[in-house]
Amino acid sequence: MSNLPDPESTPLDEAARAGWLYYVAGKTQDQIAREMGISRQRAQRLVSRAVAERLIHVRLDHPVSACLELEQDLRHRFSLQCCRVAPSLGPGADPVRAIAPVAATEMERVLRTPEPLVIALGTGRALRAMVEELPSLSAEQHRLVSLIGNIAPDGSASFFDVIMRIADKVHAPHFPRPVPVISVTAQEAALFQSLGPIRRVTELARTADVCFVGVGQMGDDAPLLVDGFMSRAEQAELHRTGAIGEVVGNIFDASGQYIDSGINQRIGGVRIEPGRPGQVIGIAGGRPKVEAIHAALRGRILNGLITDEDSAKALLSASRR
């Protein structure tokens, strides 16, 4: 019998097979070449492509002692219910790449809970990356609800909205929030909030057993600014009022207290009240976000955190000042 690849298979099919043979079956590149009827050089290229195309998702099962120590220190310092620290990937690497698989493992643990839960979700790059790492599974016993609006300023769907993506993967009932992330006026926001279906989604979100949220910074790379939800003039005004970060669009200062600003009155989402019952897990990392994460922890907006090693060290250092 010939070991040549099926002539109808695509290069991506071959990359997936080579990646599976290398990472799952534990075969060498020489063994893969023989099994697939290709050269060793091509086997090497296919394995590399499997990684580049993100066909391979790696989870580290061995506990990293330095990260475990950081988790314990963060738990103690900020009285956290949940804390996970991922090994950092080195200088210049995107911390989201390190955080996402760890966040997906925690999300999977929650989704596999047999008792029905209400799971609330924010938005952002980190949460979207988490969902991409999440395996497909059945979680029909739970309800997923969005904490924030999903309509961008131009009327399109918000690019980093995650509730539809995760619902497709886990087959759970889901409740999106079809309102603008930030309305033009406070009166418009109040009108949206008064609509019957939106009120019911809001009530469900407020009863959530666990929330997964991102944390945004308020610098020149602020997500609300970069994604067009606020202007530079509004950002400058927020800086004058002491704004340091945001969670589900609600802006807070360095002590983790929400600011009485015009934007906060126009938010289409559900505010995370400090000290609320249930878990509120922030998924965030990277030097630009450290001040915002630290403030959210100080203000008890978050009682859980999934971050990377470098950010964890910076947070502990900031707490000692």
pLDDT by residue (tens digit) across 137-154?
999 999 999 999 888 777
pLDDT-derived band of residue 4, with 50, 70 and 90 as boundaries?
Answer: very low
The answer on 308 and 203 residing in a single domain is yes
Whether residue 88 has pLDDT greater than 70: yes
Contacts by 222-228, CB closer than 8 A, 24 or more apart:
222/246, 223/124, 223/125, 224/182, 224/249, 224/263, 227/152, 227/158, 227/159, 227/160, 228/152, 228/153, 228/154
The answer on 25 and 94 residing in a single domain is no
What phi and psi values does residue 129 have, to the nearest 5 degrees? -65, -35
Whether residue 113 has pLDDT greater than 70: yes
The answer on 105 and 37 residing in a single domain is no
**Cβ atoms of residues 265 and 290 within 8 Å:** no
Residue linked to tokens 């509004």: 234
pLDDT-derived band of residue 60, with 50, 70 and 90 as boundaries?
Answer: low
The answer on 110 and 36 residing in a single domain is no
Query: Residues 247-261: what's their mean pLDDT?
Result: 93
The answer on 105 and 155 residing in a single domain is yes
Q: What is the CATH number of the domain that holds 126?
A: 3.40.50.1360
Query: Residues 117-146: what's their mean pLDDT?
Result: 94
The answer on 114 and 45 residing in a single domain is no
Domain that holds residue 163: 65-319
The Cα–Cα gap between 135 and 287 comes to 29
Whether residue 3 has pLDDT greater than 50: no
Query: What local confidence, expressed as pLDDT, does residue 313 receive?
Result: 96
In a domain, 4, yes or no: no
The answer on 90 and 48 residing in a single domain is no
Query: What local confidence, expressed as pLDDT, does residue 2 receive?
Result: 39
Whether residue 5 has pLDDT greater than 60: no
Q: What is the CATH number of the domain that holds 33?
A: 1.10.10
The answer on 23 and 108 residing in a single domain is no
In a domain, 272, yes or no: yes
Looking at the structure of the chain, the number of domains it has is: 2
In a domain, 253, yes or no: yes
Query: Residues 121-150: what's their mean pLDDT?
Result: 93
Whether residue 33 has pLDDT greater than 60: yes
In a domain, 24, yes or no: yes
Sign of CA dihedral 247, 249, 255, 258: negative
Structure tokens that stand for 47 in this block: 């394995």
The answer on 39 and 93 residing in a single domain is no
Task: Identify the residue with better confidence: 297 or 9.
Answer: 297
The answer on 278 and 178 residing in a single domain is yes
Query: What local confidence, expressed as pLDDT, does residue 8 receive?
Result: 46
**Cβ atoms of residues 139 and 172 within 8 Å:** yes
The answer on 40 and 76 residing in a single domain is no
Query: Residues 206-226: what's their mean pLDDT?
Result: 92
Query: Residues 174-200: what's their mean pLDDT?
Result: 92
